[in-house]
Each structure stands twice: as C-alpha cells, then as structure tokens.
Amino acid sequence: MGHVRGRGASFPRPRRALLYGVLVLLLPAGAPAQTTGGLSARATVVSALAVAGTADLAFGNVAQTSSKVVLAKNGGRFSVTGAANQPVSVSFALPANLGHPAVAVATWTGLWGTTPGVGAATAFVPAGPPATFTLSAGGRLFFWIGATVTTTAAPVGSYTSPLTLTVVYN
C-alpha cells in the first residue's frame, strides 16, 4: 500500500505535500509586519507682536470713602502691532485693588478697535476669559480699559497697581 495509517497520517506523503503547496498558493498573502507613513512639518513665520501701554487708567483724586468711575473711552489704553489680518488671543491681568485692600478696583469695562480712535470701537469685557481678536490689514489693534475704584476708609496716599495685557498669535 502507498500510505501509512496511524497518527496524523491519512494521505500518502507526496499527496500531502502537494495539498499543502496548493493551499499555500490559494491563501491570501499576509500583511507586511511593518509599514510607514509620512507628513510635512510646516510653519509660517510672522512679525513679532508688540504691546504698548499708551495711557494709564487714572482715577485722579478720590475721597477716603467713595467710588469713582472712569469709562473705558477715557481710561487706560493699549496699542498692539503685529502681522496683518492675523487672529490673536488676548487676556488681561487686572488688579483687585490698587495695592491696598481699602482701594478696591472692580466693574472692568473695555473697548477694542483696529483704528486708534474710540469712535468705531466695540465693547468687550476685559475681566473675562481670553478672547480672540483679529489685527487690522495694517497689523494694528487698540484697547481702552475703564473701571470703578471704591475706597473704604482708605489711608491718605497714592496707590498704584499694574494692568497687564498679554497677546499671542492663534
């Protein structure tokens, strides 16, 4: 007889080899064990941003126990320059007082525009989360900041605290 019976041997050896060969040819080719992909890293370099405080938020003389309001259009001013028509994220660090708890500052108001005059400016809330604005075609942006100062039995003296504007490209 041409084949051997027993464990795992049900076909003659030459037929089994032929069957395995045919099965290998009929099976789909396996996926490669490794593949690669690619992408490009890109950047557009734009001019640096510049921020300047052009006028302080000046409350003037305030009685020891009183409140005084300075409207944004008459308040502190900032000028921003950068790349034309670029969106920027803007945030303000605003003090809660002018260096003494009895000289509190609150009720912050703001205006913004792409021209230096307040005539076409738009209201916004500077005490809110960072906001997005777009620089003008000339790469300019302007902000005006107002607030209310409230004194409660404040000692006589001069008080000051910084206001900071942070601007970053989006």
pTM for this predicted structure: 0.77
All structural domains of the chain, each given as residue ranges with its CATH number in brackets, are: 50-169 (2.60.40)
The full DSSP string for 33-77 is: S-------------PPPEEEEEE--------SSEEEEE-GGGSEE
pLDDT digits 0-9 by tens, 7-21: 555 556 667 766 666
pLDDT digits 0-9 by tens, 38-86: 999 999 899 999 999 999 999 999 999 999 999 999 999 999 999 999 9
User: Residue 22 has which token pair?
Assistant: 């045919």
